[in-house]
Amino acid sequence: MQITSFKQYEEDYKKSIENPEQFWGEVAQNFQWRKPWFKVLSWNFNEPQIKWFEGAKLNITENCLDRHLEKNGDKPAIIWEPNNPEEESVTLTYKMLHERVCRFANVLKRNGAKKGDRICIYMPMVPELAIAVLACARIGAVHSVIFGGFSAKSIADRINDSQCKLVITADGAYRGNKQIPLKDVIDDALIGCPTVEKCIVLTHVRTPVSMLKGRDVWWEDEVKHVNDVCEAEEMDAEDMLFILYTSGSTGKPKGVVHTCGGYMVYAGYTFSNVFNYQPDEVYFCTADIGWITGHSYIVYGPLSQGATSVLFEGIPTYPSPSRFWDIVEKHKINTLYTAPTAIRSLMSFGEDPLQGKDLSSIRVLGSVGEPINEEAWHWFDEKIGHSKAPIVDTWWQTETGGIMISPIATVTPTKPGYATLPLPGIQPILVDENGNEIAGNSVSGNLCIKFPWPGMLRTTYGDHERCKQTYFSTYENLYFTGDGCLRDEDGYYRITGRVDDVLNVSGHRIGTAEVENAINMHAGVVESAVVGYPHDVKGQGIYAFVIYPEMHGEAELSKKDILQTVTRVIGAIAKPDKILFVTGLPKTRSGKIMRRILRKISDGDTANLGDTSTLLDPGVVEEIIEAAKSL
Ligand code: 7RM
């Protein structure tokens, strides 16, 4: 199923459009099914109702583990690189990973989990995180992984939204020289989570934790009480595999739902092709499993293909900005898949951190999460890839399950700043505000997809109507991505960024409404408006305009108070980079905040604010511009 020439890409693409069912039916033959499907695809974007591989039975962990045992049992499945480079790294072969997943699956059963139950996972980047994810899949439980940076309130909202019965966590996490008290955060969250019956706690940092009798149990104790034999649960192709919460333009994150069969086929197929993975290679994706990139391209994609996947606990700059390059040298990394924000951050340290580092093992480079600027692209290409490793700039979303538009390493061309061409099976279309197709080349518009692909979301948990409204109602019969996009003279795609009220801060999706709600929860704040502004390292920074009439003490202290509130409500990742206190916001007569104006002010582009005549009080703009000069 691996594409090896541009000609084959063109042929496969053509075939995938002309006969999608035959195309995906053939791709799916490369996976292990307990029972075959009777229909490859039935779909309807209006409801929406999407079914792939109907009638088929499988378990994704048999594809990620069992089927590799005979030939590749002793091949490393996961190489874990700890936060502290002085500590030993850990290699889990496929045999070892299989054994541990089965054992922990039995722990889950022992604690009352069964097929269909939702399980929340809030863990550091340790092998046990991958084990927990796979153990859920083994028994047919639905995992909902929550990134370790989210606050107790965010966790509680997510746990309650999907009524999780079980939580898997650790005492704490290391992040550079910081320690994060995960279990403490979970304890705060669980005060408001009546559905949670059990909490399994892994010892990792050995910080003191409270263990509630009857609810909390230690991972290490539990695994002693079970054996390592666990038959995989037989799942329907359309049974739920996981929920992953992601931000949209409203204040409430959505639980994106992925199902077993289609997601597996799509994650596996795209992994194998985009990175052109070769049997003995070592692949390193620097994402966190708390995001979709980690789900699809640390765990399910690579393991389904029998690859060796490196799992890194730490951060790019600890203990020094050489860390990634040390890891590349140490584990002889062949593929490095990372985010533009990390590249820009490392770039800012100059070339010293690269001195004496052997990066010769690198064959393929990848970028994901946000648009990559040309400067970062070229630095990555020249300094890291020594101009020999193709960069795959992969565009996709939590909702798409896997990579959609991207070069195919060694097969299709790359172009700085461009995600280039759609993968086989993907039919992008650009539309104007009215949903009219913008055909031809050298055009831009809103990016939609006009035909289903196996990895697409099926619903948003507990609220199908919201799924329909968000993705399938803006334009009839199209999946709307929320991204703006340009198609150049060669037909190559360049994603230009969100066209809705979603920010992309260091590759993390954050809704402006979410941040506003959090700020507004601060006592004394009357109203706020949040916009994104260009940030050298983060891509976008968060700029908050806040009305706070009766300030308690100094303005600087009040800003810190607000940051504390945002950290409590959402998590530190959503802290505004800039807060400007204002007495009013630019609003239309109907009361809508004119963000366009605020965006220009935050960008320092005040010369041409456009038409302000529809404003209720045009004077407020002058005042904000004046105040902004002080930041
Ligand atoms: C994989 C992931 C999705 C949003 C998406 C875009 C942006 C992602 C690229 C990109 C330009 C890219 N999932 N985005 N990849 N923009 N070039 N290669 O990031 O759900 O967290 O975010 O990220 O705006 O809609 S996500």
What are the tens digits of pLDDT across the range 120-157?
999 999 999 999 999 999 999 999 999 999 999 999 99
Distance 274 CA to ligand 1 centre (A): 16
pLDDT at 238: 98
254 lines ligand 1 (CB under 6 A): no
Give, in degrees to the nearest 5, the angle at Cα 594 between 592 and 600: 165
pLDDT at 1: 87
pLDDT at 631: 86
Query: Ligand 1 pocket: which of 372, 483, 492, 493 to mutate (most atoms <8 Å of CB)?
Result: 483
- Do both 426 and 296 map to the same domain? yes
449 lines ligand 1 (CB under 6 A): no
- Do both 530 and 398 map to the same domain? no
Residues in contact with 116: Cβ distance below 8 Å, sequence separation at least 6, in sequence order: 140, 141, 142, 239, 240
- Do both 71 and 211 map to the same domain? yes
pLDDT at 131: 99
Give, in degrees to the nearest 5, the angle at Cα 575 between 243 and 495: 60
In a domain, 303, yes or no: yes
pLDDT at 551: 84
495 lines ligand 1 (CB under 6 A): yes
- Do both 118 and 264 map to the same domain? yes
Distance 288 CA to ligand 1 centre (A): 15
The answer to whether residue 552 scores a pLDDT higher than 80 is: no
pTM across the whole model: 0.97
- Do both 525 and 452 map to the same domain? no
Segment 265-292 shows an average pLDDT of: 98
CATH number for the domain harbouring residue 603: 3.30.300.30
**Ligand 1 atom with the shortest distance to the CA of 293:** 1
C-alpha–C-alpha distance, residues 606 and 601, integer Å: 6
- Do both 453 and 586 map to the same domain? no
Over the stretch 219-244, which tens digit does the pLDDT of each residue have? 999 999 999 999 999 999 999 999 99
Segment 524-535 shows an average pLDDT of: 96
Query: Ligand 1 pocket: which of 271, 338, 395 to mutate (most atoms <8 Å of CB)?
Result: 395
Range of the domain at 523: 502-628
pLDDT at 614: 82
117 lines ligand 1 (CB under 6 A): no
In a domain, 79, yes or no: yes
- 345 pLDDT tier (thresholds 50, 70, 90): very high
pLDDT at 402: 98
**CA-based Rg of the chain, rounded to a whole angstrom?**
24
10 Å CB burial of residue 268 (0-12, 13-18, 19+) is buried
Q: How many CB atoms lie within 10 A of CB 605?
A: 11
Nearest CA among 54, 27, 29 for reference residue 43:
54
Over the stretch 2-26, which tens digit does the pLDDT of each residue have? 999 999 999 999 999 999 999 999 9
Question: 90-93 and 76-81: which strand pairing?
Answer: antiparallel
